[in-house]
Each structure stands twice: as structure tokens, then as C-alpha cells.
């Protein structure tokens, strides 16, 4: 086991997110699916204007069948010093080249494997890799279609028009000691988490809130921020449009 963790952001990522929240600063995260990265050139958008606005690179997916976590993490590291945080869909989606790990517990569902079972399988390996495991209450929200995240978790999402259920679920997760909450409609969702639901969760818990799924425009990022999200996650939008971050940076500049 590596007692001296070599990662530059380890033990600091969640602290930095908490500090940003306390200061009222919002962040953008980009989600990289290893299955969709065939070479380092697929990540060249990280060198484009606008990437400096990215707070975190999330690495992982609901179902990784071909992509190598180690290889893709190394390619990301070659291109940026932005923290790499694992967003794993299974215990085998781990790499020592990441700075931290979202230790996701699907608190919106009732599948014991997604609540604690897979975590038991992964815990020793996480320690051996020296990863900073951040307890994260993961909440799947109905975004208008069944996504891979819904299917692979084996759980029903929270109805998109029930912010009270989401707020109570987040509060329960907070009382159980989760360090942050992640509201997600899943990759390729027809719509993002509603601003009413984000606001309800924001009013219920003091910890950082991450929101992803169905965020396809700079305006949608701003809406999530305004409703109470501390970190908005974009994935499929960048896969479809590598210039998304340039448009995002231009929108930020325009509003400033």
C-alpha cells in the first residue's frame, strides 16, 4: 500500500469544492467516458480556449467495456493539471492516476449492491491505490428516458416532478455522512434535473451539490448554478460539439 499519496490534489478536492461553495463560486466539470476515447487526440479539446473554466475532469461511465482507465487518465494528465476525479460505474473502474474518487452510493434507489455491496468489493483496492474516497450521495432523477445509469443501477429514478422526495433523500444522505450530493438524469437524458428540484435539495442540505445529465448548453449550466448547483457536469454535449467550451467561455465573458 502506498502510504504517501503522490497525487497533487488528493485530500484537497472536496475541501476545495467546499471552499468554493462557501465563497459562492460555481464550477464546471467535464465527464470523460473511457469507452469513447480511442486515442489521445480525442482529448485535444482540452487545449482549447475555455477549458481553463473547468474545475474538475470526471472519469468513468455506467458501463466501461473497452476503454482503459489507466490509459485515458494518463492522456488527460498529459494535457491538464485539472483534478481528475473518478466517477465509477463499477469496482473495476479505478486507477492510481486519479486524484480522488466519488464513492457513489445510489441513495435514490433500494438496490443493496448500489447502496453498499459494490463498495465493499472496492474498498481495499481504493486504499491500496491511495485514492481520496469522497462519500457521495448519488441520486438518479427521471430525465424523460431510461438511461444506462438507470438500467445498470437496477433502481427506479426519482420522478422529475417530485422535488420534495429529492430533498428528503438528500437530507437522509447528509445525515448518513455523505460529503456531497450528485443529482443526475444520466448521459443522453432528454432533459436535465429541474431547477425546482435543485433548489429544493439546496435548501435541504449544506454540502456541495453536483448536477449532471441532459445539460446541453451554456444556458443550462447557468440555470443549474442559479438554482443552487455548485458543480454542473457536461459530457455528451462536448462529445457532440468539441467547441462547447469555447461557447461556454464566450457566454461567461458576455455576462461579465
Separation between Cα atoms, residue 233 and residue 213, nearest integer Å: 7
Task: Tell me what pLDDT residue 255 has.
Answer: 81
pLDDT of residue 251: 85
User: Which CATH number, 3.20.20.390, 3.10.20.30, 3.40.605.10, 3.20.20.10, labels domain 25-255?
Assistant: 3.20.20.390
Query: Could you list the mean pLDDT of each consecutive 10-residue stretch along the chain, which spans 256 residues?
Result: 45 90 96 93 90 95 81 96 95 94 97 96 96 97 90 92 98 98 92 98 98 95 98 93 88 81
pLDDT of residue 11: 55
Q: What pLDDT was estimated at residue 250?
A: 87
Supply the pLDDT for residue 146.
86
pLDDT at 28: 97
Amino acid at each position: 500500500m502506498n502510504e504517501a499519496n503522490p497525487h497533487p490534489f488528493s485530500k484537497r478536492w472536496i475541501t476545495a469544492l467546499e471552499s468554493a461553495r462557501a465563497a459562492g463560486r460555481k464550477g464546471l466539470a467535464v465527464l470523460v467516458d473511457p469507452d469513447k476515447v480511442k486515442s489521445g487526440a480525442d482529448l485535444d479539446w482540452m487545449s482549447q480556449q475555455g477549458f481553463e473554466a473547468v474545475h474538475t475532469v470526471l472519469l468513468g461511465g455506467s458501463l466501461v467495456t473497452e476503454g482503459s482507465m489507466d490509459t485515458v487518465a494518463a492522456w488527460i494528465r498529459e494535457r491538464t493539471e485539472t483534478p481528475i476525479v473518478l466517477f465509477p460505474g463499477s469496482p473495476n473502474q479505478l486507477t492510481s492516476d486519479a486524484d480522488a474518487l466519488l464513492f457513489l452510493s445510489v441513495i435514490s434507489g433500494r438496490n443493496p449492491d448500489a447502496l453498499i455491496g459494490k463498495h465493499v468489493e472496492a474498498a481495499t483496492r481504493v486504499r491500496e491505490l491511495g485514492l481520496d474516497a469522497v462519500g457521495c450521495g448519488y441520486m438518479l432523477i427521471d430525465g424523460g428516458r431510461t438511461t444506462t445509469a438507470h438500467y445498470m443501477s437496477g433502481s427506479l429514478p426519482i420522478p422529475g416532478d417530485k422535488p420534495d422526495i429529492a430533498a428528503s433523500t438528500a437530507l437522509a444522505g447528509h445525515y448518513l455522512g455523505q460529503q456531497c450530493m450528485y443529482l443526475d438524469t444520466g448521459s443522453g437524458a432528454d432533459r436535465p434535473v429541474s431547477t425546482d428540484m435543485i433548489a429544493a435539495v439546496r435548501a435541504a442540505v449544506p454540502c456541495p451539490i453536483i448536477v449532471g445529465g441532459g445539460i446541453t448548453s451554456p444556458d443550462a449550466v447557468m440555470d443549474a448554478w442559479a438554482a443552487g448547483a455548485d458543480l454542473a457536469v457536461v459530457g455528451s454535449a462536448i462529445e457532440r460539439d468539441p467547441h462547447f467550451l469555447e461557447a461556454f467561455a464566450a457566454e461567461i465573458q458576455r455576462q461579465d
